[in-house]
Amino acid sequence: MTGKNLLPSDPGNRIKKRLFLGLLSLSLLFITALLAGGWFLLVHRSNLFNRLLLALGLLTLAVLFFIIALGIAGLALIIWQERSRPLFLHLGMIAVNTLFPVALALGRRLGLKKETIKASFIELNNQLVRLQNQRVKPEQVLLLAPHCLQWSGCPHKITIDVYNCRRCGRCPIDSLHALAAKYNVRLAVATGGTLARHFVKQYRPRAVIAIACERDLTSGIQDTQPLPVLGVLNSRPHGPCLDTQVNLEQVEEAIRFFLYEKTAEQPRPSRKELEVGSSV
């Protein structure tokens, strides 16, 4: 049961990575302008000692902002060249973590929805993860799903033990079980960020495929850095946190990315094969 994905993760309606990069750059310029204005006001109203302290503080901030600016430029270079550069990637993550709240606030002031901004961040993260080209063993992959994918009328609790699922086929959890069994990866269902972090600590994966909404994916990706996480947005045809759906083709493609070299990929199973596997 795939369900139609109505969110920006659809190829035909994909949020551009450059949106978040642009907001990061705008955030840096905004903070720089504020500091420059503050310096101009203070330097004309302070004594010599305060000016020295101010100069020292500004020098420290200048170094920090140089690192952030280099990180933003590095991310743009990585995306443009489609080639991973560890140093620029590390600096870029510093820039993202430092400026994310400012970028989100500025984007909202410009009329952008916070979900759109976070979706752009997720797209950027996914691209960076793919460029690292990391391959791991099946048992080192964790497929992490939200509990809202479970049919709301189901009486069986699967967040503690995912194998309590009766595989009735009324929700995507059944098909996720089929994918996990097919590729021999771990599957866990979490009620929120706390339980999701618990599963990451418990299973200690080297790669994660996380299914969630924009909010939970964004916080999860940031919380688990530098662990590579490929995010797959769910769709909410019945509203937030109720009988949500997910594009199973995107989930399977993410699993295959971590497991196989490009030259050694196996043929993709058809939807009919997945349905047969889920009914076993």
In tens, the pLDDT along 67-78 reads: 888 888 888 888
Measured from the Cβ of residue 97, the count of other Cβ atoms closer than 10 Å reads: 13
What is the pLDDT, as a whole number, of residue 13? 44
Q: Which fold has domain 135-278?
A: Rossmann fold (3.40.50)
**Tokens found for residue 114:** 């916070």
What is the pLDDT, as a whole number, of residue 188? 95
Quick check: 93 pLDDT over 60?
yes
Query: Averaged over 117-125, what is the pLDDT?
Result: 91
Indicate the average pLDDT of the chain.
82
Lowest-pLDDT choice from 82-86, 94-98, 119-123, 188-192: 82-86
Q: What's the rounded Cα separation, in Å, for the pair 278 and 167?
A: 7
Please name which of 204, 168, 172 lies closest in space to residue 186, comparing C-alpha atoms.
204
pLDDT in tens, 196-227: 999 999 999 999 999 999 999 999 999 888 89
Largest CA-CA distance found in the chain, in angstroms, rounded: 79
Do the beta carbons of residue 262 and residue 235 sit within 8 Å? no
pLDDT in tens, 149-160: 999 999 999 988
What is the pLDDT, as a whole number, of residue 277? 47
Q: What's the rounded Cα separation, in Å, for the pair 187 and 199?
A: 10
Q: What's the rounded Cα separation, in Å, for the pair 26 and 102?
A: 9
Q: How many CA atoms lie within 13 A of 238 on its CB side?
A: 12
